[in-house]
Amino acid sequence: MMYPHPIIAKEGWPYLALVGAVTLLVHYLGGIVWSWPLWIIFIFVLQFFRDPQRIAALGRDLVLSPADGRIVVVEVANDPYAGREALKISVFMNVFNVHSNRSAVNGTVKEIQYFPGKFVNADLDKASTENERNAVVIDANGQIVTLVQVAGLIARRILCYIHVGDRLKAGERYGFIRFGSRVDVYLPLTAEPLVSVGDKVFATNTALARIPGLD
């Protein structure tokens, strides 16, 4: 599932083509006086779909952040997708964050569960159970790690490109959420959190936690 990181996410090209064509047409017909709002929209879409390369955080037994954003939850909670009590760490992504999602660990995909749902503000706790979401359960050297893509207030499409049985590498791109959203990470209770609520994190660059014995 790796791809050559073309700086702009592949999911964004249809939007950029449409907005760019309309902007150029209006600019040609009416000049900058009429086209400047469209140029602002084009720049916004361009920055939203940026997808830079990332270098994994260094260290042993690390769980990497699957998304850019801000930590909104660090607590013990029920993991309904793997049927256990777990350490839950949630990353909220606003519309200015990179929205590519990347694997937090090396491991094998054991289960994928998709749930249609609402589109309430992803910053709220109830988004984890009420919003549209896609859960990926990963076996990481005997440790279970669950990654849940959660749609947000204006998000309308969760994209997940992996399948049950796939082998993932930590930092590997596996999905995308269009516009504001969040990713919930459920870890074994033995995990030691390395972040706190309010911290800013970056996909792959930032370690969320450490799990002893993680491959």
Q: pLDDT tens across 93-110, in order? A: 888 888 889 999 999 999
Q: Please give the distance of CA 31 from its chain centroid, rounded to a whole number.
A: 38
Which amino acid is located at 171 in the chain?
A: G
Q: Which two tokens stand for residue 188?
A: 């074994």
pLDDT tens-digit map of 120-163: 555 556 656 667 889 999 999 899 999 999 986 655 578 899 99
Mean pLDDT of 173-186: 87
In which residue are the tokens 């801000």 written? 70
Query: In sequence order, which ranges of the chain are alpha helices (DSSP H)?
Result: 13-30, 32-48, 127-130
Give the pLDDT of residue 6: 65
Q: Which of 93, 75, 76, 94 is nearest to 85 (CA)?
A: 76
Most confident of 2-6, 44-48, 110-114, 129-133: 110-114
Under CATH, what is the fold of the domain 62-210?
A: Glucose Permease (Domain IIA) (2.70.70)
Quote the CA–CA distance of 64 and 211 in Å, as a whole number. 11
pTM above 0.75, yes or no: yes
* Cβ count near 60 (within 10 Å): 9
Q: Which two tokens stand for residue 33?
A: 């006086």
The active-site residue out of 35, 128, 181, 196 is 181
Tell me if 162 sits within 8 A of 1, measured CB to CB.
Answer: yes
Examine the pLDDT at 56 and tell me if it is beyond 80: yes
Mean pLDDT of 63-82: 95
Calculate the alpha carbon distances from 155 to 134, 180, 182, 187 in Å.
Answer: 13, 6, 10, 25
Residue 181 annotated as catalytic: yes
Mean pLDDT of 189-212: 95
- Distance separating the N- and C-terminal Cα atoms of the chain: 20
